[in-house]
Amino acid sequence: MKTRKKGTALLSAAIIVGTLTGATAQAQDKEFTIAVSIPAATHGWTGGVVFHAQEAEKQIEAAYPNIDVIVSTASSATAQVSSLEDLSATNTLDALVILPFTSEELTGPVEQVASNGTFITVVDRGLSDPSIQDLYVAGDNIAVGANTAEWLVEKLGGEGEIVVLRGIPTVIDDERIQGFRDVIDQSGIEILDIQYANWNQDEAFTLMQDYLAKYPNIDAVWANDDDMLLGVIEAVDQAGRTDIKYALGGNGMKQVIEMVMAGDERTPISTPYPPSMIASAIYMTAAQFAGQAPMRGSFKLDAPLITPENAEQFYFPGSPF
């Protein structure tokens, strides 16, 4: 069994790109194949994942003609398993970068790929057996919640009434809520209600309508996710409610970043959970072969507040998300 070196680091795609393009490629006469297996663009965030994976593919192949990056998308866990089988059967894979649809269903197939000596990079959703992976790259969901809550506590002066929208019952959502509540619970702010809207704009719109009908005063809303935030804002605007000082989301959707850049009073900040993390993972994996910079362990991307001062760093106008 492989041994794993654990650690954390703050990484950005720009740093990794710089490392690769500034490095002297090793074994330029040897060909390497990196397979990238990701969910299809079924909603905004995964659309961003596909965009950034394809951009990384183009950049790496342009800089290193001896590295072939194959990006494969799948619309379900079953389809992703089949895709992995096809990739392994038709290619000699030096590395696999995978954002699993589900942990359980993909663990066995990824373990089979690893048994051939393939370097394994897992992104965002972990496998059931983390010992299979050589590299793990993910966002800091606890920080997404905590950093948003700290800003909100400061702006509301430590008191007020808020409502919260959850995503779907997953570890990712649990961590965001944990980070948020750990901060809010130490303040005088009361969470009036907290329910699931499944990271869906329409469901968030309906849930926010319910909140507005139920509570005559709401000082702020945390939607946990930018898709849901858009539904929240639509409901608030339709109701003409002026008591809501702040409506906040998360993930760094392009449309929300534009609001932050414009100095929107109700949505003046966001927090990143960038789909571009897939690009960071691909660059780091390619560094095993091109940049003479072997990386192992677990790397967690930071979740700083996105403000008008730094929003340009998180803005990708060509991305669908």
What percent of the chain is modeled with pLDDT above 70?
A: 90
Scanning 123-269, the segments in alpha helix (DSSP H) are 141-155, 171-184, 201-214, 226-239, 254-261
Asked if 257 and 280 sit in the same domain, the reply is no
Same domain, 113 and 151: no
- Specify if 1 maps to a domain: no
Query: What sign does the CA torsion over 36, 40, 41, 44 have?
Result: negative
One domain for residues 128 and 162: no
* Structural domain boundaries enclosing 170: 141-261
Residue 2 in domain: no
Q: Are residues 128 and 18 in the same domain?
A: yes
| 214 and 255 share one domain | yes
The reply to whether 167 and 256 lie within a common domain is: yes
User: 214-230, pLDDT tens digit by residue?
Assistant: 999 999 999 999 989 99
**Buried-exposed string 295-318: b where 16+ CB fall within 10 A, e elsewhere:** bbebbbbebebbeeeebeebebee
Q: Of 209, 235, 261, which closes a domain?
A: 261
Tens-place pLDDT, residues 250-288? 988 999 999 999 999 999 999 988 888 999 999 999 998
Is 247 found in the same domain as 201? Answer: yes
Provide the pLDDT for residue 147.
96
Average pLDDT over residues 188-214: 96
Name the residue with higher pLDDT: 171 or 72.
72
Residues 208 and 115 placed together within one structural domain of the fold = no
Residues with Cβ < 8 Å from 173, sequence gap 6 or more?
166, 167, 224
- What is the total count of domains within the chain? 2
Which helix (H) or strand (E) is 159 found in, with range? strand 159-166
Q: Does 86 reside within a domain?
A: yes
20 and 134 co-located in one domain: yes
- pLDDT band for 291, please (50, 70, 90 cuts): low
Q: Is the pTM of this model over 0.85?
A: no
- What pLDDT sits at residue 91? 96
**Looking at the predicted structure, is the pLDDT value of residue 25 above 60?**
no
Q: Is residue 318 domain-resident?
A: no
Q: Are residues 257 and 292 in the same domain?
A: no
Q: Indicate whether 202 belongs to any domain.
A: yes
Mark whether 183 and 116 lie in a shared domain.
no
CATH number reported for the structural domain that contains residue 56 in this entry: 3.40.50.2300
- pLDDT at 122 > cutoff 50: yes
For residues 99 and 247, state if they share a domain: no
Name the β-bridge partners of 119: 95
Tell me if 5 is assigned to some domain: no
Tokens found for residue 109? 């197939």
Q: Is residue 314 part of a domain?
A: no
Complete DSSP assignment for 169-189 = SSHHHHHHHHHHHHHHTTSEE
268 within a domain of the structure (yes/no): no
